Amino acid sequence: MVTIEGLTKIMKKKAILSDVSLSISGVYGLLGPNGAGKTTLMRILAGLLDFNHGRVSLGDERISTGTRVRRVKDIGYLPQDFMIYPELTMYEVLEHIAVLQGEHPAACRPKIEEVIEQVNLSSHMNKKMRELSGGMRRRVGIAMLLLREPSILLFDEPTAGLDIRERVRFRNLLKRLGNDRTIVISSHLVEDIEFLCTKIGVLDRGAVLFEGSPDALKQKAAPYTYELDVPFGELDSIMATKEVVQIREEPSHVVVRVLSEEPLGRRVSPRLMDGYLALLKEAESHG
């Protein structure tokens, strides 16, 4: 488990993270709108960025010294835009990374083939990095991390920019990896978090709004989530006056899901998206 206590990061006199405290375990989703400080937090955890105050521990061991997290073998980080050595083949890249980690060049092939198999890229082993799609490149990034066998994997917006098939494949891979590792997934896409995560932290403007289970986040919207059956002609006025979170088209009407403090239509059980939006709305109303 990674414990973050009172972490503050100030850049250009602006608090990017303020007094962030989180307990990260299992498959952990870090959710928040753009600019919430998710990437900054991930980069701090990966030891790539200094912070101003706070401490970070891995289990019982403190891994932050002064204002930086030590770059420990246990933590692997995959940045959002992963691209290395575009002119080399995937195998050449992984072989080199394995050697840099101390593997013997003559003996590392089985391990490389094993991690390539794990990320389901065996048939692309001899393709150049620049010939791979964005999703494939990210899977190479995961293979690279797996060579190191870290117990904690940090993924920054792992599915951003991927097409739907690649996104599903990537999510399944993350789910599988989460069986025996701690995984932190930062995303602004609630669907990814809903599918993968066992625990969620929500950041907004550098502060923690929520930490807990997906069910607890859903419950934030329980008193406010309603569905209305709306004739096609009235949809525009509903959208202009209510907080619409989803529209589902039926043959004779439209089913509109809204967040509302006033009773409207029928109350329904909230989903993660509803809870997340209710939380952000609550934070916004409190300034």
Q: Which is nearer to another protein, 154 or 272 (CB)?
A: 154
Residues linked to residue 30 through DSSP beta bridges, in sequence order: 186, 201
How distant, in Å, are the alpha carbons of 27, 31, 141, 190, 193 from that of 162?
21, 18, 15, 15, 16
Query: Residues 199-238 vs another protein: string with x where CB under 8 A?
Result: ----------------------------------------
Q: Which is nearer to another protein, 86 or 231 (CB)?
A: 86
* Tokens, residue 180: 């025996």
Region of 114 (left: φ > 0; alpha: ψ -120 to 50; beta: rest) is alpha
In this chain, which of 28, 51, 82, 224 binds another protein, going by CB under 8 A? 82
Q: Is 1 in the site for another protein (CB under 8 A)?
A: no
Q: Which is nearer to another protein, 13 or 104 (CB)?
A: 104
Q: Is 90 in the site for another protein (CB under 8 A)?
A: no
What's the min distance (Å) between Cβ of 157 and another protein? 12
Q: Is 275 in the site for another protein (CB under 8 A)?
A: no
In this chain, which of 1, 11, 84, 247 binds another protein, going by CB under 8 A? 84
Measured CA angle at 139 (ends 212, 84), to 5 deg: 115
* Segment holding 207, helix H or strand E: strand 207-212
Rounded distance, CA 2 to CA 61, Å?
10
Query: Residues 143-182 vs another protein: string with x where CB under 8 A?
Result: -x--------------------------------------
Q: Is 30 in the site for another protein (CB under 8 A)?
A: no
In this chain, which of 99, 126, 213, 234 binds another protein, going by CB under 8 A? 99
* Burial readout 48-84 (b: 16 or more C-beta within 10 A, e: otherwise): ebebeebbbbbeeeebbeeeebeeeebbbbbbeebee
Residue 196 near residue 171, CB atoms below 8 Å: yes
Residue 144 near residue 153, CB atoms below 8 Å: no
Which positions lie near another protein, rule CB under 8 A? 43, 46-48, 71, 77-88, 92, 95-97, 99-102, 104-106, 141, 144
